[in-house]
Structure 1
Amino acid sequence: MTSVAAPAEFKPGVPDWSTLHQSSGGLASPVNDAAAWKSYEWPEERVQQFNKDGFVSNVPVLTEEQCDRLLNDYRFFMGKENHPGMAMMYEYHSNQSADPQNVLMHALGHWRLTQLFHDLVFLPQVVVPVSQCMGGKAVRFWHDQLFAKPAHHGGNVAWHQDYSYWIRSRPMCHMTVHIALEDQTEENGTLKYIPGSHRWTRNNGEPLPVLDFNFKDMEGIKTILTEEEREAFKPVSALLKKGEASFHHALSVHGSYGNRSPKNRRAAVLNYFADGTYSDSDQELLKGVTIPKGQKMEGQFFPIVFDPSWTKQ
């Protein structure tokens, strides 16, 4: 690995961290040798569990101190302080549900704005297992997300499959890592999964259709399930502790209910795809990011975050 360079500036004094395609060392020390990369591999039993259920939960990836530092950066997205680089965001919704009694802050693109959220993308505890779950492929970053449910009136995230929102990229070899920056409980809207639902497809492997782009309709998915799928619809709560992550397949059905507790419920989400994924649209893949249909998704916004060859150098 080479020495870390500085990111280019979006405007004077405001770095665009997407121009730096490795960890800066701000969140954790960069990995510099093959043995260190290999040390982050999961045991085969855990990979098999992922393949069986479509997810693995309660994997420690961050310390409490690292979570607290990331939560400090959350101030830019919870209305407490304006970041001078907000124009770089792909999406920002102070309340995606538009219901003041069910508030869901949802953001994409913050890895461009802060050093710590940038470095989170490259965290070896995350990217090495993602490669294993993808069958040993090299991994590229897709995009990040923030989900915040404020105390007492935090909103839900309706049951869905992630790839339903991503069909503009093919073939499907995508994964999501959901990191709890605070303890998740039944009361504050913990992440929930349907085991085995990563096998639920339509029309020769296509995902279930999107019913609600604002995540409000919690039960709508049941109207499009087969009888067999409805019988298998038995949610499992992740109950992530602060600093723990859930890794899930792009077709794994998941969701979360609202937060009625007296504390916030904040999380950071990382999405990845296998190297070789191509654009299936001439429209924007993300705000300001267009790759012609049929061309490989790569470049500034889709960096390689891990290559298995790094464990052998």
Structure 2
Amino acid sequence: MTTIAPDLAERFRTDGFAFPVNALTPAEAGQALAECHTYLRTVSAAGGALARYATFPKIHLVSTWADRIVHHPAILDAAEALLGPDLLVWSTNLFVRPAHSGSSLAWHQDAVYLGLNGFQQHAARVWVALTDTTVANGTMRYARGSHLRGTLPHQFSGSELEDIMRGEEITVDIDEAAAVDVVLKAGECSVHHLAMAHCSGPNHTADGRFNLAIDYISPQVSPTEGEDSALLVRGTDTGAFLPETRPTADFDRAALQQFYSAVARRQKRIDQVVLNRDSQDRGEADRTQDPA
């Protein structure tokens, strides 16, 4: 049994995050990084939906290195300490900040895009470092306690390409003094609440930064609308989600069929979530302009 810090769940509840959490060994992290590079070369050469969805949201359904990480006992023990004994993987996301990249992400919350009921108490994102994460290579920053404010309004901060590439930004003030840099060694991970406000900076180093994010949920979570699927990784009960199965080999036929179905289903649902949110935001803006 993995040793989990006794205050992990308390820090998660009060701060909205906790790190560092021991996950992969240095050797496991090195192997996963090498396999990740091979995976990226393979999907890039394949093109099509594999390339389009190379970094989200179902990497674990076609790649055994990602499947191995989402089932890693140390990571599951941490997730169980936060969410209970029944665990599903809803999504995997690969975050790569290339060497000497000027890219960055504005302050934002993951929850506003996901369309999940019950995420407040029954979901967590685990951010696994496949390389060291530092301020110099653009690691994440958390705004301590921001998850307690609920989901916040977002909009693009400007119309320039750079603004759009940075993504939608929270439109209320973030206390920079409460910001915490997520500094991890390769193999360690952090956990954060889906309503945690966070951002990341450019990579000023000669090496790429690689992180695999895993969204764990319990069966109490359900889609706000439409069908969705998830992979049971510990315990029992898939709740409101269609069940997924583990890949037996990288990119085998059954895995690919499941992957294509799952990402199409997810994309359709998220597109509707975003459309509904945009319509709601426009309605609220209209009401603000017309008090009558």
TM surpasses 0.5: yes
* Aligned partner of 2:105 among 157, 161, 164: 157
Pairing partner for 2:68 from 119, 134, 148: 119
Q: CA deviation at 1:190?
A: 1.2
Q: Secondary structure, in 3 states, of the residue corresponding to 1:49?
A: helix
Q: How far 1:46 sits from its partner (Å)?
A: 2.4
Residue number among 196, 199, 205 corresponding to 2:145 in the alignment: 196
Residue of structure 2 in register with 1:182 after alignment: 131
Q: Distance in 2 between matches of 1:60 and 1:270?
A: 15
Matched, 1:56 2:11: no
Quote how far apart the aligned CAs of 1:260 are.
1.6
2:28 maps to what in 1?
Answer: 66
Residue aligning to 2:90: 142
Q: Which residue of 1 aligns with 2:7?
A: 45
Q: Amino acid of the residue matched to residue 148 of structure 1?
A: V
From 240, 248, 253, give the equivalent of 2:184. 240
Correspondence for 1:109: 58
Q: 1:169-218: per-residue Cα shift (whole Å, max 9, x none)?
A: 212221100011111111110121111011012xxxxx224435x97337
Distance 1:79 1:89, change over 3 A: closer
- Larger helix percent: 2
Structure 2 CA distance for aligned equivalents of residues 211 and 70 of structure 1: 35
Q: Find the counterpart in structure 1 of residue 196 from structure 2.
A: 252
Report if the CA contact (8 A) 2:146-2:197 is conserved. yes
Alpha-carbon displacement from aligned partner over 1:151-179 (angstroms, at most 9, x marks no partner): 11252222221211112x21222110001
Q: CA deviation at 1:75?
A: 2.2
CA 1:81–1:110 in 2, change beyond 3 Å: closer, same or farther?
closer
In the superposition, relative to structure 1, how do residues 140 and 157 fare at CA in structure 2: closer, same or farther (>3 Å)? same
State the alpha-carbon separation in 2 of the partners of residues 87 and 218 from structure 1. Answer: 22
Q: Which amino acid aligns with 1:69?
A: Q
CA drift of 1:276 comes to 2.9
TM-score using structure 1 length: 0.65
Gaps of at least 5 residues in structure 2 are 157-162, 231-238, 247-292
Report the CA distance shift for 1:283/1:138 in structure 2 as closer, same or farther (over 3 A).
closer
Cα separation, partners in 2 of 1:178 and 1:143, compared to 1, 3 Å: same
**Secondary structure at the residue paired with 1:130?**
helix
Indicate if the aligned counterparts of 1:179 and 1:244 stay in contact, CA closer than 8 A: yes
| Displaced runs of 4 or more, over 6 A | 283-286
In structure 2, the residue corresponding to 1:69 is in which secondary structure? helix
TM-score by length of 2: 0.69
Identify which of 217, 225, 239 aligns with 1:281.
225
* Residues 249, 41 of structure 1: alpha-carbon distance in 2 compared, 3 angstrom cutoff: farther
Partners of 1:79 and 1:138 in 2: CA distance: 34
Aligned to 2:208: 264
Aligned residues: 231
Contact preservation (8 Å) 2:33, 2:130: yes
The alpha carbon displacement at 1:257 in A equals 0.5
Which digits, 9 at most, give the CA deviation of each residue in 1:2-61, with x for residues without a partner?
A: xxxxxxxxxxxxxxxxxxxxxxxxxxxxxxxxxxxxx23624322212211111011120
**Is 2:121 aligned against 1:171?**
no
RMSD over aligned CA atoms reads: 3.0
Q: Tell me what 1:20 maps to.
A: none
Contact conserved, 1:130 with 1:175, CA < 8 A, in 2?
yes
Secondary structure of residue in 2 paired with 1:73:
helix
User: Is the 1:157–1:256 Cα contact (8 Å) retained in structure 2?
Assistant: yes
- Residue type at the aligned position of 1:197: S
**Contact 1:156 1:215 (8 Å CA) reproduced:** no
Q: What are the superposed Cα offsets for residues 267-294 of structure 1, whole Å, 9 maximum, x if unpaired?
A: 11111111132222126679xxxxxxxx
**Deviation (angstroms), 1:89:** 7.2
The one-letter code matched in structure 2 to 1:254 is: H
